Structure 1
Amino acid sequence: MSAVKRLTQRDIARLAGVSQATVSLVLNGTPSDARRIPADTRERVQKVIRETGYVADPVARRMVKGLNRILGVFTYEPAFPSAQADFFTPFLLGIEEGAQKLGYDLLLLTGAGVKRRIFGENVRLRLADGCIVLGRQFDREELARLVGGDFPFVAVGRRDDAGGPVPYVGGDYIPATAALVDQAKALGHRRIAYVGLNEGAESTLDRWTGFSSALAPAELVFTSFAVGEPPAPLLDAVMGARTSCVFFTELADAINFEAAARERDVQIPRDLSLVVLGNHIRAEEPGRKFTSFGIPREAMGHAATEMLVRRVENNAPVEQVLLACELLEGDTLGPASTQTIRNT
């Protein structure tokens, strides 16, 4: 993907048919300055800004106005209140703690329209000095525009290059996943299933990479590269493949699967072991704690805020940081059953 050309105030002036000084006054001037510009001229300039997604050069803006000491936070999914709240809340706590410590306020950016977009009809990034971007999966076109522009931003979660390297703080899912596979193998598991996506967002790909790289000499006897499948037929397929351990990418799927197993008197982990690759929704269910790894969401949010402030204040170079994920000992991973071992 080629880098996106950086728009300048000169480009905006040319497209709007006005002087660069007029564009500067619209963007950076005081209310009295703005009143000196005819309303139709102001609207013409603002229309070009909206249509192009132009974000003012923060260095130039600081020369005129100084820092606003406001950091934007944009999420591609609703942060709260929603089913995603448990997922996003720790990130937001870490971001808030980091911003308060560094003397910044936060501005929650929700985007415009039904589909959330950073660059929409009403671009409000200019109200902030920089922005933290969260989401399980980013809009690649918007990410490329951010990388190609001058507006400081940091992504939460590892992101592939988008016309250039992306500054991010993420969780180190590959070694954490591999460590769980190693635990299963050490307990005698040789017939293993994988339930969940293996393509899409970088976090999903990292889990699959960690799993597949550590699998040998165990055998992958069943796969379901989907989420939200009915648990009863899934249980039939897993048991039919004489599986001894199932790895899930989504905790919700593991919860439903465990309930279906309990209804059939399949004992977890005596008859079948379950492993979850990251506590996506909540750490544990009543009466059941899944073997998993913890995602350091709060620490990721805090570190992303510190990284963004370095970019805002010092024009720091792109950094890419992965934080270790702590293994969580649960009660769903046990030794491979004698019957399963005999059948292999």
Structure 2
Amino acid sequence: MGVTIKDVAKAAGVAPSTVSRVIADHPRISEATKKRVKKAMKEMGYHPNANARSLANRSSQSIGVVMPSSADKALQNPFFPEVLRGISGIAHKMDYSLLLATGETGTEMLEGVERMVYSNRVDGIILLYSQIDDPVINFLLEQNFPFVIIGKPSERIDEITHVDNDNVSGGREITKHLISLGHERIAFIGGSTDLIVTVDRMRGYQMALEEAGLPYLDEYRVHTEFLKSGGQQAVNELFALPEPPTGLVIADDLMSIGVVNMLEECNKRVPDDLSIVSFNNVYLSEITRPPLTTVDIHIYELGVQAAKCLIAKVKDKTEPAKRIIVPFDIKYRSSTKANEAPTRNI
């Protein structure tokens, strides 16, 4: 006969109900008791029945993760595997599994989330994006279903738990770096303006230009997909201008790599012909040639904090909304250089 909860309780010197509470990670059980019970479980080879526990707790022991596009597109960008690594590390530690939802369109994404919620497949959901007037967020709020956003909500910010960076400050600081090198014609390449992260980073870029007395020009702003192909498209548009930029602020490292590749095809080199700064500090940013100067947003930590916040909300429905800001820092590498012939003094 296998080891039972009663056997574990006897070995740990606690009641069987205490063992059950330890398995459910009940917050009122002391850490010392949890350690004692878990040690007894390990020594005796006791493994809780996950299905029975889920039924008893009315829990799926699963977290839903929603990506902002189809998996084949999203996973081309190293941001998503890295943030998933942070989420899964905490989920594994807390005995949760992950269920991914994607979609080519907003309708498909909403339908996927509705299936997860209505079928009780997940206990809570993490959104790996934030956009304006998102039907997924509206649905989750209507259902009073636990969820966390990686990013900043466009509305009801005090009601929604979210984990983010200060992207406005990041955009401002990285643009100031180009300005300090004498660049005055500085362009911005970002994703859709429906995405809050794009809006915030562009706002920081605008602030830095205005503080330096530099123009904020429509023709110097290009919006495209957060992919290499998006960066390549943006280069074509910007270098068709009568006065192309000498500096670029790019809202995503993968787009930056597309820009570098496209410039090489046009016989232009970074940073000799164009200085580039970027965001995210994905692993590619350090090994590309040249290595990118980029805002390190600590992607893994975003995932860790989002998972912790969501599991706390799942375990306690009265948990108040939180705003977690993960600090950024700038990795200065060799994709920028001084502009040797500025057009005017700042």
For 1:329 and 1:167, how far apart are their aligned partners in 2? 32
Unaligned runs of 5+ in 1: 1-61
Q: Find out whether 1:84 has 2:114 as its counterpart.
A: no
Paired residue for 2:149? 155
**Residue matched to 1:70:** 61
Corresponding position: 1:104 with 2:95? yes
| Unaligned stretches of 5+ residues in structure 2 | 1-52, 225-229
* 1:237 CA drift (Å): 3.0
* 1:263–1:189 Cα change, 3 Å: same
Give the corresponding residue for 1:95.
87
TM-score by length of 1: 0.69
Contact 2:174 2:249 survives alignment (8 Å): no
Matches within 5 A, 1:184-333: 184-197=178-191, 199-216=193-210, 217=212, 218-220=214-216, 222-227=219-224, 228=230, 230=233, 233-234=236-237, 236-237=239-240, 240-241=242-243, 243-279=245-281, 282-314=284-316, 315-333=318-336
Cα distance 1:190–1:147, how it changes in 2: closer, same or farther (>3 A)?
same
- The one-letter code of the counterpart of 1:116 is M
State the Cα distance separating 1:196 from its structure 2 match: 2.9
Structure 1 residue 109, shift from structure 2 partner: 4.2
Instruction: Note the aligned Cα RMSD (angstroms).
Output: 3.3
- Do the aligned partners of 1:140 and 1:162 also contact (CA within 8 Å) in 2? no
Residue identity in the other structure for 1:155 = I
CA distance in 2, matches of 1:334, 1:113: 40
Cα 1:123–1:319 change in 2 (3 A) is closer
Which residue of 159, 163, 168 corresponds with 1:174?
Answer: 168
Q: Residues 130 and 154 of structure 2 are in contact (CA less than 8 Å); yes or no, is this contact kept in structure 1?
A: no
**Does 2:91 align with 1:130?**
no
Residues 215/112 of structure 1: CA separation in 2 closer, same or farther (3 Å cut): closer
* 2:35 match: none
- Contact between 1:270 and 1:335, CA under 8 Å: does it hold in 2? no
Q: Write the deviation string for residues 153-192 of structure 1: whole angstroms up to 9, x where unpaired.
A: 1122222225972211122211111111111111122221
Relative to structure 1, the CA distance from residue 158 to residue 136 in structure 2 (aligned partners, 3 Å threshold; closer, same or farther) is closer
3-state DSSP of counterpart to 2:65: strand
Instruction: State the alpha-carbon separation in 2 of the partners of residues 296 and 116 from structure 1.
Output: 26
Amino acid at match of 1:335: A
TM-score normalised by structure 2 residue count: 0.69
Q: How far is 1:300 from its partner? A: 1.0
Separation (CA, whole Å) in 2 of partners of 1:271 and 1:122: 50
User: Contact (CA 8 Å) 1:235, 1:261: kept in 2 or not?
Assistant: no
Counterpart of 1:337 (choices 332, 335, 340) is 340
Match of 1:116 among 90, 109, 112: 109
Return the offset for 1:131: 2.3
Separation in structure 2 between the aligned mates of residue 232 and residue 179 of structure 1, nearest angstrom: 23
Q: What residue identity is the alignment partner of 2:193?
A: E
Q: Identify if the C-alpha distance between structure 1 residues 276 and 255 changes in structure 2 by more than 3 Å, giving closer, same or farther.
A: same
Go from structure 1 to structure 2 and tell me whether the alpha carbon gap of 1:273 and 1:220 turns closer, same or farther (over 3 Å shift): farther
Equivalences, count:
279
Any conservation in 2 of the 1:125–1:131 contact (CA below 8 Å)?
no
What residue is the counterpart of 1:28 in the other structure? Answer: none
- Per the TM alignment, residue 281 of structure 1 is displaced from its structure 2 partner at its CA by 8.2
Q: Percent identity?
A: 22
Letter matched to residue 248 of structure 1:
I
Letter in structure 2 aligned against 1:276: S
Change (3 A) 1:313 1:183: same
User: Residue 238 of structure 2 contacts residue 245 of structure 2 at CA under 8 Å; is this kept in 1?
Assistant: no
Per-residue deviation at 1:252? 4.1
Counterpart amino acid of residue 109 in structure 2 = R
User: In structure 2, what residue type is equivalent to 1:244?
Assistant: T
